Structure 1
Amino acid sequence: MAEFAFGLYPGSATGAESGLVNGPADIPERIRDALDDLQPTDKSFRVRVYVGYAGNGQIEHTTPTDFTQYVAPNRKLDLVLCYRAVDDPFECWTDFIRTMLQQYAPHLATLQITEEANSTGPGGDGITPNIRAALVAGILAAKAEIQRLNVSIEVGFSATINFNPADDFWRELYQLGGQSFVDALDYVALDFFPDVFTPLPPNVTLWDAVRVVLEQFRQVNLPQAGIPATVPIHIGENGWPTNSTRTYERQAETLEAIIRAVYAHRATFNITLYELFDLRDADSSQENIFYQFGIMRDDYSPKPAYTVFKKLIAELTC
């Protein structure tokens, strides 16, 4: 059976409608303790980190900060380069990608070019002009630089699910990049949050919802861009937040149901990685769900989902 690995975003800042939301500062020692505890001995694990590109070679934000401190044996980074530049020559963007690769290559397992380029929702780069062209240019530049450096780093991009047949996102990617773009891809990441922003209908189970989304992504969305079934899918972001009406116990049950459904369908849809969003609440005192995606509270005390996630990593990593 093919590899199936786990990872997570260990920071606390979360993208919301108003931009990044924060709370108490991250505590690197506590993050490292949690990563060491969650990662099985001698098994690979990914740490998802985000760098926001603002244009002219400038970084808008990095979360978590000083992220190389979380690298350890069998634990490398999934570096996400978000694109929020306006009226910026693509040469600046591709130079930035090459610079990031030269700086961080020894620490990287994967490099994701743009974040949810087809989404204008919270955290999505789809709000940025020319995002589709930036995605294609970025993928091609990253692959060329990885080959020049002769390093083993997978390159890909992330998207959200699309059930609208009139949307041209996927078709335009192929029109812009052609077969060279497709050939440069090592994976495509899917960010999805069942039963978070849209409650499931009473007659739909989480198992069914996950299957429908994975089927649409693999069999409809990706083929529209000419991306074959041989290109693996990564689950780049998945989580289920808590608040006064969303209990810790239900979070644990929901995440286990989703992860087991993804794992059960991994061979059918060629899924090789699952990454959780996220380790710690931004601010556990805030009722807004964007502050409470963590499987730990903002003081790093574990919610029940932490124990469940640790169990699933130990059981399902292969």
Structure 2
Amino acid sequence: MKFGIYPGGRAGVTCSRESDPGRVGALVGELGGGGPFVVREYVHFLGARPDPAVVASIGAAGELDGLTMPDDWYVSGGRELDLVVSYIPAVADLPGWLGFLDRVIERYAGITRYLQVTLEPNFPIPLIDGSSPGVMAALIDGLPHARRALDARGHGDVRVGFSVAEPAEWLGGDAEFWRRLGEADLGGVVDYVGLGLYPDAFGPPVPVAGVRAMTEHALRHLREHSLVVAGIPATTPIHVAENGSPSLAGRDQVASLATMLAVVREQEAALNIAVYELFALRDADTGGGEAVGALGLVTDYYVRKPAFDLYRRIVAGG
């Protein structure tokens, strides 16, 4: 299993300050240790006439000009880029979306290893793709379109997939989403399925035993139920595409992350888990007092937390 991380300092609309590329490079280099290490980044499709306030709120300006770090950084030191293309227009726009995928592929395919088409399209909350009009068409048409576009440009080695939030009871139910995927018969163009996993992040504190049970349930539910409904075979790997726990008063970030990672490793072979990516390197807003701002291994001023050394040791141990 490969490990990785989101290196930026933004979580949705929360971002206290811009990233410091020098510090990002040093910290990610230390975590990766020169071996294979996956780096997750995001670009966003907001439609033909995006609201400037929304663009600013999620930091989406200039995403096709460059990511957190220079291009060559993503293909050096053993790193592999996992690039998420998020679909969040105010009105459905399938032609615009497919054209945007083409532009993203033209710009970034040469440095990309994994291309994720949509972000959690089963999760209907604001500024996540599941709330966007036309998201099912964006996913169902976007996956084969991306595959064809990559192949036509000589990038057949780029793996194409999508991510979801799981399990269903955390979301209010997503049976219709998986049923429609199954009807679309996409198994032949899905190289992996990503999972967003935050069992103890956005509710009351959860004891370690609860974190363990919720993590295993989410992983097994995805593999043994949801992917079966969608007709996606067991040979298609799962990527734990996002996983995090906040460092807030009354919570033990180290214990939670250690527990979740232990479960992932225990289930790695049985559930075919190929990649684990932690969210995130840096807090989005350490002083804000909210879970979404405190998921990092370091503070928003890049001061290390105990969880940094925990993850470094886990990555080093393979």
* TM-score normalized by the length of structure 1: 0.89
CA RMSD of aligned residues (A): 2.1
Secondary structure at 1:190 match in 2: strand
**TM-fit CA distance, 1:243:** 2.1
Q: Show the counterpart of 1:295.
A: 297
CA distance in 1, matches of 2:244, 2:209: 18
Residue 112 of structure 2 aligns with which residue? 108
Which ranges of structure 1 fall in alignment gaps of 5 or more residues? none
Query: Which amino acid in structure 1 is aligned with residue 290 of structure 2?
Result: N
Q: Following the alignment from structure 1 to structure 2, what is the Cα–Cα distance between the partners of residues 201 and 30?
A: 32
Task: Check whether the contact 1:119–1:125 (CA below 8 A) recurs between aligned residues.
Answer: yes
Corresponding residue of 1:183: 188
Distance 1:122 1:196, change over 3 A: farther
* Structure 1 position 50 matched with structure 2 position 42: yes
| 8 Å Cα contact 2:102-2:146 kept in structure 1 | yes
Q: Distance in 2 between matches of 1:29 and 1:273?
A: 26
The verdict on how the C-alpha distance between 1:30 and 1:166 changes in structure 2, with shifts beyond 3 A counting, is closer
TM-superposed CA distance for 1:174, in Å, is 2.4
Alpha-carbon distance in 1 for matches of 2:223, 2:267? 11
The whole-number CA distance in structure 2 between the counterparts of 1:39 and 1:92 is 37
Q: Does 1:40 align with 2:54?
A: no
Structure 1 SS opposite 2:168: coil
Task: Report if aligned partners of 2:197, 2:243 keep a CA contact under 8 Å in 1.
Answer: yes
Q: Aligned residue for 1:273? A: 275
Counterpart of 2:17 (choices 24, 32, 44) is: 24
Match of 1:159 in 2: 164
Instruction: Look up the equivalent residue of 2:43 and give its one-letter code.
Output: V
Take 1:240 and 1:202, find their aligned partners in 2: how far apart are those partners? 12
Q: 1:145 aligns with which of 149, 153, 156?
A: 149
- Please report how far the alpha carbon of residue 225 of structure 1 lies from its aligned counterpart in structure 2 after TM superposition: 0.8
3-state DSSP of counterpart to 1:302: coil
Q: How does 1:163-174 map to 2 (within 5 A)?
A: 163=168, 167-174=175-182
User: Could you tell me which amino acid in structure 2 is paired with residue 6 of structure 1?
Assistant: F
- Which amino acid is the alignment partner of residue 202 of structure 2? F
Question: How far did residue 86 of structure 1 move?
Answer: 3.4
CA offset digits 1:22-65 (Å, max 9, x no partner): 10221011000111111123x21111001111113979414954
Q: Deviations over 1:65-110 (max 9, x none)?
A: 4563641232121100110123353122112112211211121010
Q: CA deviation at 1:291?
A: 1.1
Letter aligned with residue 214 of structure 1 = L
Q: Partners of 2:213 and 2:182 in 1: how far apart?
A: 30
TM-score, reference length from structure 2: 0.89
Partner of 1:14, secondary structure, is coil
User: 1:55 is paired with a residue of what secondary structure?
Assistant: coil
> How do residues 57-76 of structure 1 correspond to structure 2 at under 5 angstroms?
60=55, 61=60, 62=63, 65-66=68-69, 68=71, 70-71=73-74, 72-76=76-80
| Contact 2:283/2:300 (8 A) holds in 1 | yes
> Given that residues 12 and 64 in structure 1 are in contact (C-alpha distance below 8 angstroms), is that contact kept between their aligned partners in structure 2?
no
Residues 190 and 172 (structure 1), Cα distance of their counterparts in 2 relative to 1, 3 Å cut: same
Q: CA deviation at 1:238?
A: 0.4
Question: Cα 1:207–1:97, aligned 2, differ >3 Å: closer, same or farther?
Answer: same
* Candidates 238, 260, 279, aligned match of 1:258: 260
Counterpart amino acid of 2:40? R
Shift of 1:162: 3.3
Give the aligned partner of residue 306 of structure 1. 308
Write out per-residue CA displacement over residues 144-167 of structure 1, whole angstroms, 9 at most, x where no aligned residue: 112212221110000011335773
Quote the offset at 1:288 in angstroms.
1.3
* Cα shift at 1:206: 2.8
1:204 CA drift (Å): 4.2
**Gaps (5+ residues) in structure 2?**
none
Cα distance in 2, alignment partners of residues 132 and 84 from structure 1? 12
C-alpha spacing 1:211/1:166, structure 2 compared with 1 (3 Å): closer
Do the aligned partners of residues 102 and 89 (structure 1) sit closer, same or farther apart at CA in structure 2, a change above 3 Å counting? same
Query: In 1, distance between residues paired with 2:190 and 2:265?
Result: 22
Instruction: State the partner residue of 2:215.
Output: 210
Figure out how many residues of one structure are paired with residues of the other and give that number.
Answer: 302
Identify which of 124, 132, 137 aligns with 1:133: 137
2: CA distance between counterparts of 1:82 and 1:261?
28
Match for residue 244 of structure 2 among 239, 242, 252: 239
CA contact (8 A) 1:241 1:289 kept: yes
1:116-156 CA distance string (max 9 Å, x none)? 10112365211101111111111111111122122211100
- Indicate the percent of aligned positions where both proteins have the same amino acid: 32
Q: Distance in 1 between matches of 2:126 and 2:298?
A: 22
Write the letter of the residue equivalent to 2:283.
D
